[in-house]
């Protein structure tokens, strides 16, 4: 259930657009929204004062642009390292979803350029919705879920079904990429015979959500991104399990840090907003 959303804003407007699209979804409409703008440390007091004034204007403009009842919004202007502040505020607010902008930087470039979204992606255990700077935000009608046998994939499916339920004209694309399966022209028509897709389709049918099953093969990340573009997907949901032991929760996930995880690949290359469902693996 998404009851508390943390929306980080930087003056570009994409995250605000994404939230407005989400707020058209019945499942989301009653959620409270914390709108957060962070001012990094400055060298002088004068520079800090100027940045805080600018930040206040950015925050006010973001709140004004939201199609949300004012009683559901809390605005927060914070000072500090953005990477740490996002995690801190998400914990303070007990957020069910973090919405962030992303430059879509690849692997080590994200580290070298001090990417906030990459850092939060590594360390947060909360679901994250990432919106790259170069994408077009659309109404949520066509949602794709990447499926396998994991708990994270099941959580992704549950979230997609909740989002699309009671939305007229919506469609859920259930995708299973099997790298060991030989390519076949009949793969699409036989998709519902795939046990993973069959179980997901049964859930969608039970909840009255229109769906399409796609059974594909190849490298999972590249194929998921290709299908998202081909199917003109509005939102891609993919599981991103946390594989770190409990004693290492404050340390980066090396798979994500080095860009070796499936969710990191999709985060970088997908041409639509990506929602990362988080679970403990």
121 and 210 within one domain:
no
- Domain ends where: 132, 156, 175? 132
Average pLDDT of span 105-119? 57
Task: Report yes or no on 137 lying in a domain.
Answer: no
208 pLDDT higher than 90:
yes
Asked if residue 223 lies in contact with residue 217, where contact means CB atoms within 8 angstroms, the answer is yes
Task: Report yes or no on 221 lying in a domain.
Answer: yes
124 and 13 within one domain:
yes
114 and 151 within one domain:
no
Q: How many domains does the chain have?
A: 2
241 and 161 within one domain:
yes
Which residue(s) pair with 141 in the sheet?
none
101 and 194 within one domain:
no
- Domain ends where: 132, 166, 191? 132
Contacts of 140 (CB under 8 A, 6+ apart): 21, 22, 24, 25, 163, 164, 167, 170, 234, 235
> Which CATH number characterizes residue 124's domain?
3.40.50.620
- pLDDT tens-digit series, residues 215-256: 999 999 999 999 999 999 999 999 886 554 444 445 554 444
| Domain that residue 26 falls in | 4-132
- pLDDT tens-digit series, residues 139-182: 999 999 999 998 889 999 999 999 999 899 999 999 999 876 65
Task: Report yes or no on 42 lying in a domain.
Answer: yes
């Amino acid at each position: 259930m998404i009851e508390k959303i943390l929306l980080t804003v930087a003056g570009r407007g994409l995250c605000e657009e994404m939230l407005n699209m989400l707020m058209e979804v019945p499942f989301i409409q009653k959620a409270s929204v914390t709108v957060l703008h962070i001012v990094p440390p400055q060298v002088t007091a004068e520079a800090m004062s100027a940045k805080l004034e600018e930040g206040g204007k950015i925050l006010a403009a973001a709140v004004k642009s939201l199609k949300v009842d004012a009683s559901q919004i809390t605005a927060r202007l914070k000072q500090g390292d953005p990477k740490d502040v996002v995690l801190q505020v998400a914990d303070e607010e007990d957020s069910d979803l973090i919405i962030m902008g992303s430059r879509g930087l690849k692997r080590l470039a994200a580290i070298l350029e001090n990417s906030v979204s990459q850092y939060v992606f590594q360390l947060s255990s909360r679901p994250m919705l990432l919106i790259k700077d170069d994408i077009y935000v659309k109404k949520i009608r066509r949602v794709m879920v990447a499926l396998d046998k994991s708990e994270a994939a099941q959580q992704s499916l549950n979230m997609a079904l909740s989002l699309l339920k009671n939305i007229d004209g919506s469609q859920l694309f259930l995708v299973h990429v099997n790298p060991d399966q030989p390519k076949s022209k009949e793969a699409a028509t036989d998709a519902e015979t795939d046990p993973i897709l069959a179980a997901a389709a049964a859930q969608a049918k039970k909840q009255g959500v229109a769906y399409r099953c796609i059974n594909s093969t190849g490298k999972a990340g590249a194929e998921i991104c290709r299908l998202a573009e081909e199917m003109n997907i509005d939102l891609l949901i993919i599981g991103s399990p946390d594989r770190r032991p409990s004693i290492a929760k404050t340390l980066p996930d090396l798979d994500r840090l080095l860009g070796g995880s499936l969710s990191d690949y999709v985060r970088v290359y997908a041409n639509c907003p990506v929602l990362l469902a988080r679970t403990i693996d």
